[in-house]
A = this chain, B = another copy of it.
């Protein structure tokens, strides 16, 4: 069976400005076994890290580096080397034992895996403060993504020009999605109108949604939703800050915090808890970002 590999359009836009002798490597046929492995299941956790690896790899390309060890790349991506190796192993074997990974081929491979060999056209619904920023934020999509339409339910906003594009009414959504081949939508509406906007996107044929709205979205099977919740992120940080403050004040083991009835000193300012118990200043390390 013919592998749907790089037919036509050869080199990706970001192909290393370098001569690139390994072009052949790109064409190299991928063993069926490997492909199946990759197809069958790349853990979601790994997929989520691929963009990070890709960014690190591109930086390396920029610097003219041709080969990296898992240790180096992992450090650049802020993860452990073992994790990185396993993640990459899900894509097939693209490293050379005793040497490391060839940057150029790896960039190409990861890009292809993420579907970045094609351009993804997206529509943005909700042109408020955030929506405007996202539309203008040239690099928010880095590469591979193009906003082909801005929409808003507010008649007052429709017609305005934002980032060189005219905001269109929701009524035009379906038509644009179809004609432009859009399958990803970005939602930047207030929480109240989020579900309605989401429904409109789905009805139009979008199957992937990135939402910034503070609302729980209900979507039909087959539609992916990724949610970025700014308020929540801050609240989570606040939780940790409070925890640190408590630890600094009282003894660990949540002296007072453990009790349901915690006499919260409402008036007490969370003063710089900069110097918790014992923080070895000056030592840098990456901080877990959980997920």
Contact = CB atoms under 8 A, between A and B. Distances in A.
Contacts of A32: 240, 244, 287
A139 to B, nearest CB: 7
B56 A256 contact: no
A263 B183 contact: yes
A145 B139 CA distance: 28
B33 A288 contact: yes
Copies of this chain in its oligomeric complex = 2
A233 B219 contact: no
Interface residues of A, number: 174
A39 interface: yes
Contacts of A218: 78, 284-286
Interface stretch (A64-72, A149-157, A164-172): A64-72
A224 to B, nearest CB: 5
Nearest to A133: B133
A243 interface: yes
Contacts of A267: 178, 205
Interface in A81-127: 81, 91-92, 94, 99-100, 109, 112-122
Interface in A1-60: 2-9, 15-21, 23-24, 26-27, 29-40, 44-45, 47-48, 50-52, 54-56, 59-60
A282 B240 CA distance: 36
A286 B219 contact: yes
Contacts of A38: 255
B51 A229 contact: yes
Given A17-B76, A224-B240, 17 more contacts: A8-B260, A16-B59, A16-B60, A29-B285, A51-B236, A78-B218, A117-B258, A119-B260, A120-B234, A129-B137, A177-B272, A184-B237, A205-B264, A205-B269, A206-B274, A220-B280, A220-B283
